[in-house]
Every structure is written in structure tokens, then in C-alpha cells.
Structure 1
Amino acid sequence: MSIEGDGPIIQIEDEVDESSVPSSKRTKTSMAGEFFEKFFDDKGLPKAKCKNCDKIYMARDGGGTSNLIKHSLKCVGRGNGSSYPPLDQEKYREKISEVIVKHNYPFTFVEHKGIVDLLCFLHPGVKSISRNTTKSDVLKVYRKEKEKLKSYLQSIPGKICLTSDLWSAINTNQYMVLTAHFVNRNWELEKKVLSFIHCPPPHNGFKLAEKLISLLKEWGIEKKIFTITLDNASNNDVMVNILKKHLLSGLGLIAKGTYFHVRCGAHNLNLIVHDGLKVIDGSLGKIRLCVKYIRGSEARKLKFASCLEQLSNVTSKQVRQDLPIRWNSTYLMLETAIGQREAFTLLSDIDPYFDCLSNEEWDKVKTIADFLKPFYDITFFSGSTYPTANLYFSGVWRIHMKIKEVSCVDHSEFEKQNQLCCMARRMEKKFDKYWNSYSVVLSFAVILDPRYKLQFVEWCYVRLLGSEGVQVAKLILDKLKAFFQEYLKSSNETTASSIQRSIRGSPNIPSNALQDFGTYESKLCEPSKNESDLETYLNEKKN
């Protein structure tokens, strides 16, 4: 059937029984038939009426359906009996901005013809916008979200801990990132990136302090800062001194800023291990070259894969490349390579260009990897989605004990063990440099964990220092009491209930590493007549 009216001539196919028509000759039904109703007027002329708006088109044979389809797209409800709600253009533009930010789309995304057609298909009321308008909308969303976060941070009842670092982009431009870590009213750990800004040189302590101070003022949290965690760059020491003086002048720090500067534990551990790995630079370099050779072409990968298939005890099916600046990736590369040792040897037999490690070198690498495993096992404290401060002390203590144990043994009879001893001594020297800078404040976190309390800290120091460890634990307890009293003065809410809570959601300290702790009884916790909430907590039994 064809229809003609005010527009071009349009065709609507007559209804047919498709089951009786061969598929090769079956007529394709137009989409217009879904939205229009066919009828004949009083004069017997064929016409079609829109099912939604009742608009009538005249028809005759031989016409097309494009005009009807066009009408159905523009007609509110598309002829399905329902009506479109009016489109909120502001909400639509806000949603587009959120999509662009969330998925990192370019601003030109809104000008792509396919996207424009899709949006118009979904709702005929959509108004196209330009990339410049989209940029303005994204900035509007940013300012709105920033104000919400600013108000939220100011409503936090406790203190805020900061982390900051400089990051270099691939084009060598450097940026400063500032992140806030805090516990909200529901006792949930949260992390919010406050700033990620271009930081052109010079990167001296004065310039960095100036930027951080301006950011703290901008967010209105100068009086809510507890600590800032940084790496060991010398410019950070200058920056911390300036920042501490500024915050102390506004009475924004507890304990006169004694615990304000926290050196990044992951960075310290990275420095310690890298210093020890220098002992096996030769063997480590050979493994890196082996991995790069295998990953260098598809043919080599396939040849190595065929070597792996011939071995039944190989767990990993591909080689792992490390990132030298991250020691834990180096450990994973060593662990994987050791598991594929036989495949490496087999490849060297069939590929004359592949230079593999000797058996002696493999044995040395295996000894070093076994020694480094405890270091890798505690990398969980780098997590940011669960509390780790209460676990960090015990992990570092276990590493300290491992280093002392190996460095004090005479391995002169075996070259590979002598190499391990040399490595441990290099690491011990580096470890001693950083231990005192973080041991006290992280001891507080363990003491406030109801599972371990003061007895655990005392036990750790006794294992490290002998009888002197008792006095060290006592000094730490005195510092905690002084810190607690000052915190009560500066806090608007009592912290008694917070001290008695157990931290949930974080991994436990491995029990096999603390098997002697269960039998250790502290002699420091004696009942006091005028006990504070902290002393009451310390004298309670461990949970």
C-alpha cells in the first residue's frame, strides 16, 4: 500500500502471511508499519494514521516509508502509546560530563556524528553541544564536587593524614599529588585525592612547602592535619620543617608536631632491598636479559612455550618482566624464573643465541629469593583500602630479625652463603638508618590493636635488644600516655570508645611468626589507682 500526503509518497507494505511465502521472496516489513494504522477514507483513498498523534498521511502504491519513519522519530512517544518525559537539558549535560570524566573521553566525544545520532535516537529533545560547552560543563561539575568534598572533610570528627609525592609524566613534566586519608564517622577508612597539579621546577623545599600550604588553605583543613607521609628526598625534609612551623603557628598539630613527618615505609623498604640486591647484580642482570630475549619476538615466545610444555612441574606459563624501581616486581621475576629454571636450560640447548645462567648462579639466585620472601610477604601494608598501621610494625620487626639472624652467621665456608651474609649486612646498615624514624609512632598503632597491646611491643624489643627492650617499651608507653592526654585536650569528642574498638578488615599478622608471643607476660602494665581510659584499656585482657 502506498501513502501520499503533504510530504513525499510513502509505501506501507500490505499484511501477508509470511509462513506461506518462501524466505527468498518474503517481503520485508517496514518499521513504519509498527507506528501507523492503515485505513481507507470515505472516498476509498488509502491513508495511514499515526498511532500516537493521529496525524494522517495519504498513500498510494510505489511510495517509500522514509517520511513515516522520520515522523515516528520526531513524534513524542514514537507511536507506541506512551509519551516521552520532557528532557532536563541541564541534567543531560551533567551526565555527559560525568561520563567523559569517568571514562577519560575527549571533549570532542560529544561532536562525534555517531554519538549525536544515537542521542537523538534515544530522545528527540536532545540538543547537541560543542566540545567547548562540554569543557565548561566538566569544570562546573568539578567545582560542584570539590565544594561537596570540602564540606565533607571539614565535618570529619578526627584528624587527617596526608601523603604527597612528585610524579614525572612521559613528557618529563612533573606533577604533585596530595592525598588525604582519614576515618569517617562510620569507622571506615577513606582516601581522597585533593590535588594533582603541574609542578614546574625548581623543586626545592621552599617551593613545595608554599604549594602545600596554599592547598591546605584552599581546602580549609589546616587545623585538622595529623601526619604527612613522604619519601626520603632531601627537599622533603626542608619542606616538612617549613610546613610544621606554619601549622604550629596556627595550633594545628598535636604533640608539637613530634609525629608529623612519617617516612614512607614502602619507599624505605624499597631502598633497603635494592641496596642488598646490588650484591647479585650480575646474576640479576642475566635473568633480566634472559626475560627480555624471550619476550623480544613472537617466535622466541613460541619456542619457550614449547619448552614449558615438555615440563610437567612448571606452574607459570609465561616469563615475568620486572620494573627495576619496584623491588617486589623484581622478586616476582626471580620467583617465576626459578620455577621455570628447567625451561630456561632447555631453551639454551636448542637456541645457540640464548645465554642462560649456570647451575651455580641459579643456586645463588634461589638462596637470595628465599631470603627476600619475608620482605615480599609484608608488602600488604602498602594497601589503601584497609588499615595497615597496626600491622606495619610487626612486619618490619620480622624483617629486622631476619636481617640480624643472617648477618650474624659466619657463612665463609660457602660462597653463596657468604654472598647472602654480605647482602644482609648491607641491608642492616640501611635498615638501622631508618628504624628509629618510624618505630615509635607505629608502636602506638600496635598497642591500640586489642589483639596485641603493649605486651607485643615489649616482646619484640626484648627479642631485638635483650633486657634493654623492656626499658625501650616503657619509654614508648610514656610517650603514648603523653600523646593521648594532649589528643584529649584537642579533641571535641572523647576517644575512649575509639580505643576499645578492634580494627576490622585488615589481614592478621602470621601466627607462625609470633609463636613465642603467646607465652610472654608483660611486667609493665601495673594497675593504677587513678587510671585514664588508656590505662584501663591497657590493663584489660587482649581480645
Structure 2
Amino acid sequence: MASSIGERLALFYKVTELFSGTSYTTANLFFPKVCEIKIALNSSFTSPSDMIRGMAFKMLEKFDCYWNVIHGVMAVATILDPRYKIELLEYLFPLIYGDEAENEIQKVRDTCYEIIRDYTSGRMGREGTRGTCVSEDPQVDDSLMDFEKYLSQKKKGGNIKLELEHYLEDDLMPRTLEFYILAWWKSNGPRYPTLQRIARDILAIPVSTIASKSAFSTSGRLLSPHRSKLHAKTIE
């Protein structure tokens, strides 16, 4: 029993080391490990041990509160890794969602489009009013101004899809340890200018606001030599 529990907790130890914050890991590495945890917790429900199944249920209940909020942004960060892109989602999501995998992948793809649209509209706003100008000539018919706006939005939407689709259609980069994703986006920015701006912001998102070592070390302040006999419920 102890060895079985130890094997399952070993994954959490490895992920905690990766997410420790001291090595300043970029956000593209978070999602595969978080998916690995979710898959491991799901598989624990098939364990013959009632204790392991009970532990998995409580852990998954708390884990899903985090997963439901953050997995979309994490998936976008993984898509921005040219070694993984959408293919990693196509591999992992069937293991997590089963028959609903395609719908979940489409949700992430839609999130990508939405983020690109936000960045594009923000850039256009900073550039000022360089678009279509309203003529002051009273003889000019302005009844088709909405049509001009429609054409502008249609062109913008097409550019959004083109940049993302071109990126996704390119071949994956080899999975090597000496791959520096920030350097890759710096050199490939001219090809994908909007995606480069998104990568610059999203890849810098930390998985935690504090290092895990600092979080776990708080137990030393709670369980001092004078409080070594406190009940577990009292400590919580």
C-alpha cells in the first residue's frame, strides 16, 4: 500500500520541482504536466484500494476547481510552443475528455482566435484613426459607412485566421532540451507579429505567485516545538 501511494505521489513531487519558480520556467511547460496530473488522478479511480480511490476523489475535487479556470490559457501557452502546437492537445484531450475531446480542442482554438482579435483591435486602437475617414463633402453618400466597417472587420478576421493557421500548419520543431522558446519567437516575430506579442505576454505567466518551497515551508511556523502535538484538524 505504501509503495503504491508513494509511486502516485512521486508525480506530484516532480511537478512541484518543475513549478518551484526558482528556474523561471516559461508557461508552455505547465500544461503537459498539469494534464499528466489529471490523467493520473482519473486513473486512480480504477485502483482496487478504497484508500487510494478516496484520496483521488478529494484531490480531483480540488484540482478541478483550478483546472476549470486555468486550463484554457495553459493550453494556449502550449500551442505557442512550436514543438507541440495543437497536436499535443489532440493527443492529451482524448485521454482526459474521451468523446468530448474534439469539442474541447475547438474551445481552445476559439480562445486563440479571441485573444488574437483582442490584440489586433488593441494595436489598431493605438495606431490612431488611420482607417477610413468620414468625408465632410455633403455630396458624398455616407449611407454605406456600415458597409465599410463590415469590410474592415471581415479583412481583420481573415488576417487573424491566416496568421494562426499558417503557424499551426508549419512543421513541428524537434523536441530537444536545448530549445529556447523565447529566442524562437524573437527570431520568428516578422512571420507571426501578433502571435509574437501574445507569446511575449502569455509565456511569462507564472504558475504560482510564490515559490513552492516558500509555500510548503510555512508548516515550520505552524508546527513549532511548542505546537508539535496539535491535532491535524486544528492545524487546518
TM-score, L = length of structure 2 = 0.54
Report the counterpart of residue 377 of structure 1 in structure 2: 14
Name the CA shift for 1:372/1:461 in 2 (closer, same or farther; >3 Å).
same
Q: Does 1:477 align with 2:109?
A: yes
Contact conserved, 1:381 with 1:391, CA < 8 A, in 2?
A: no
Name the CA shift for 1:488/1:382 in 2 (closer, same or farther; >3 Å).
farther
Cα shift at 1:433: 2.1
Report the counterpart of residue 3 of structure 2 in structure 1: 366
Match of 1:393 among 31, 54, 75: 31
Q: Does 1:461 align with 2:93?
A: yes
Report the counterpart of residue 234 of structure 2 in structure 1: none
Report the counterpart of residue 442 of structure 1 in structure 2: 74
Gapped regions of structure 1 (runs ≥ 5): 1-363, 412-416, 493-528
Cα shift at 1:384: 4.7
Cα shift at 1:382: 2.9
* Partners of 2:163 and 2:25 in 1: CA distance: 23
Match of 1:532 among 162, 179, 190: 162
* Partners of 2:170 and 2:102 in 1: CA distance: 20
Cα shift at 1:490: 2.2
Gapped regions of structure 2 (runs ≥ 5): 125-157, 174-236
**Which secondary structure does the structure 1 equivalent of 2:172 belong to?**
coil
Cα shift at 1:432: 1.9
5 Å-filtered alignment, 1:48-447, equals 364-379=1-16, 380-409=18-47, 411=48, 417-447=49-79
Across the aligned residues of Structure 1 and Structure 2, the Cα RMSD in angstroms comes to 2.0
Structure 1 or 2: larger helix share?
2
* Partners of 1:365 and 1:407 in 2: CA distance: 17
* Partners of 2:106 and 2:93 in 1: CA distance: 11
TM-score, L = length of structure 1 = 0.24
**Which secondary structure does the structure 1 equivalent of 2:82 belong to?**
coil
Name the CA shift for 1:431/1:448 in 2 (closer, same or farther; >3 Å).
same
Which string of whole-angstrom CA distances, capped at 9 and with x for unpartnered residues, describes residues 492-511 of structure 1?
A: 8xxxxxxxxxxxxxxxxxxx
State the AA in 2 paired with 1:481: Y
Moved over 4 A (4+): none
Cα shift at 1:391: 1.1
* Partners of 2:87 and 2:7 in 1: CA distance: 30
Cα shift at 1:423: 1.1
* Partners of 2:23 and 2:15 in 1: CA distance: 16
Cα shift at 1:429: 1.7
Name the CA shift for 1:385/1:467 in 2 (closer, same or farther; >3 Å).
same
State the AA in 1 paired with 2:116: F
Cα shift at 1:395: 0.5
Q: Does 1:542 align with 2:180?
A: no
Structure of higher CA gyration radius:
1
Identity of aligned residues (%): 32
State the AA in 2 paired with 1:540: D
* Partners of 2:52 and 2:113 in 1: CA distance: 42
State the AA in 2 paired with 1:429: E
Q: How many residues align?
A: 138
* Partners of 1:387 and 1:396 in 2: CA distance: 14
* Partners of 1:489 and 1:371 in 2: CA distance: 46
* Partners of 2:55 and 2:43 in 1: CA distance: 12
